[in-house]
Amino acid sequence: MTDVPRVDCEDPHDSELFAILGVEGSTFPGERELVTQGQDRCARAFGDFIGVPFANSTLDFRFYYPTASSWAQGDRTIYCLAFDPGLKVSGSLLNAKR
Protein backbone atom coordinates (compact mmCIF):
# COMPACT_ATOMS: atom_id res chain seq x y z
CA MET A 1 0.00 0.00 0.00
CA THR A 2 1.66 3.20 -1.07
CA ASP A 3 -1.05 5.85 -1.23
CA VAL A 4 -4.48 5.74 0.37
CA PRO A 5 -6.57 8.90 0.38
CA ARG A 6 -7.70 10.07 3.80
CA VAL A 7 -11.35 10.96 4.14
CA ASP A 8 -12.97 12.82 7.00
CA CYS A 9 -14.94 10.31 9.05
CA GLU A 10 -18.19 12.24 8.55
CA ASP A 11 -17.83 12.18 4.75
CA PRO A 12 -19.07 9.06 2.91
CA HIS A 13 -16.27 6.49 2.62
CA ASP A 14 -15.83 2.88 1.55
CA SER A 15 -13.90 1.48 4.52
CA GLU A 16 -12.35 2.35 7.87
CA LEU A 17 -8.93 1.39 9.16
CA PHE A 18 -9.48 -0.42 12.46
CA ALA A 19 -6.17 -2.14 13.20
CA ILE A 20 -2.50 -1.84 12.33
CA LEU A 21 -0.76 -5.12 13.17
CA GLY A 22 2.96 -5.77 13.21
CA VAL A 23 4.45 -8.95 11.74
CA GLU A 24 7.46 -10.50 13.49
CA GLY A 25 10.53 -11.95 11.84
CA SER A 26 13.40 -11.04 9.58
CA THR A 27 12.65 -13.55 6.79
CA PHE A 28 9.64 -13.06 4.51
CA PRO A 29 7.11 -15.65 5.75
CA GLY A 30 5.38 -16.05 2.39
CA GLU A 31 2.04 -14.87 1.07
CA ARG A 32 0.08 -17.84 2.44
CA GLU A 33 1.30 -17.20 6.00
CA LEU A 34 0.58 -13.47 5.77
CA VAL A 35 -2.94 -14.13 4.45
CA THR A 36 -3.56 -16.57 7.32
CA GLN A 37 -2.27 -14.03 9.84
CA GLY A 38 -4.34 -11.26 8.27
CA GLN A 39 -7.54 -13.30 8.32
CA ASP A 40 -7.09 -14.53 11.90
CA ARG A 41 -5.71 -11.40 13.51
CA CYS A 42 -8.02 -8.94 11.74
CA ALA A 43 -11.06 -11.09 12.63
CA ARG A 44 -10.09 -10.92 16.32
CA ALA A 45 -9.44 -7.18 16.20
CA PHE A 46 -12.72 -6.69 14.28
CA GLY A 47 -14.78 -7.90 17.24
CA ASP A 48 -13.02 -5.50 19.60
CA PHE A 49 -13.56 -2.56 17.24
CA ILE A 50 -17.09 -3.28 15.97
CA GLY A 51 -18.42 -4.60 19.28
CA VAL A 52 -19.63 -8.00 18.04
CA PRO A 53 -17.64 -11.00 16.82
CA PHE A 54 -16.95 -11.04 13.08
CA ALA A 55 -19.04 -14.22 12.64
CA ASN A 56 -22.10 -12.38 14.02
CA SER A 57 -21.64 -9.13 12.10
CA THR A 58 -23.33 -7.80 8.96
CA LEU A 59 -20.11 -5.87 8.30
CA ASP A 60 -17.01 -7.27 6.63
CA PHE A 61 -13.27 -6.58 6.54
CA ARG A 62 -10.36 -6.68 4.14
CA PHE A 63 -6.68 -6.35 4.82
CA TYR A 64 -3.41 -5.43 3.20
CA TYR A 65 -0.20 -7.26 4.00
CA PRO A 66 3.47 -6.96 3.00
CA THR A 67 4.58 -8.26 -0.37
CA ALA A 68 8.00 -9.84 -0.84
CA SER A 69 9.31 -6.58 -2.30
CA SER A 70 7.81 -4.35 0.43
CA TRP A 71 9.13 -6.77 3.09
CA ALA A 72 12.63 -6.32 1.65
CA GLN A 73 12.16 -2.58 2.20
CA GLY A 74 11.20 -3.08 5.86
CA ASP A 75 7.40 -3.37 5.65
CA ARG A 76 6.13 -5.54 8.52
CA THR A 77 2.55 -4.30 8.76
CA ILE A 78 -0.94 -5.72 8.20
CA TYR A 79 -3.66 -3.08 7.81
CA CYS A 80 -7.25 -4.14 8.65
CA LEU A 81 -10.19 -2.22 7.18
CA ALA A 82 -13.88 -2.63 8.05
CA PHE A 83 -16.65 -1.93 5.55
CA ASP A 84 -20.38 -2.28 5.00
CA PRO A 85 -20.72 -4.43 1.84
CA GLY A 86 -22.14 -2.44 -1.05
CA LEU A 87 -22.58 0.77 0.96
CA LYS A 88 -20.64 3.88 1.81
CA VAL A 89 -20.40 4.75 5.50
CA SER A 90 -20.65 8.19 7.11
CA GLY A 91 -19.20 8.36 10.60
CA SER A 92 -17.20 5.66 12.34
CA LEU A 93 -17.95 1.95 12.60
CA LEU A 94 -16.42 1.91 16.09
CA ASN A 95 -18.87 0.04 18.35
CA ALA A 96 -21.39 -0.25 15.49
CA LYS A 97 -22.49 -3.58 17.06
CA ARG A 98 -23.85 -4.94 13.82
pLDDT exceeding 90 applies to what percent of the chain? 90
Q: Say which residues have a Cβ less than 8 Å from residue 89's Cβ, sequence separation at least 6.
A: 12, 13, 14, 15, 16, 83
Strands (DSSP E) found in the chain: 16-22, 60-64, 77-83
- Please compute, for residue 39, the number of CA atoms within 13 A of its CA located in the half-sphere on the CB side: 7
Q: With a threshold of 0.85, does the pTM exceed it?
A: yes
- CA–CA distances in Å: residue 31 to residues 35, 67, 89, 98: 6, 7, 30, 31
Give the model confidence (pLDDT) of 27-44 as tens digits.
999 999 999 999 999 999
> Over the chain (98 residues), what is each successive 10-residue block's mean pLDDT?
76 95 96 98 98 97 97 97 95 96
Domain ranges of the chain: 29-81
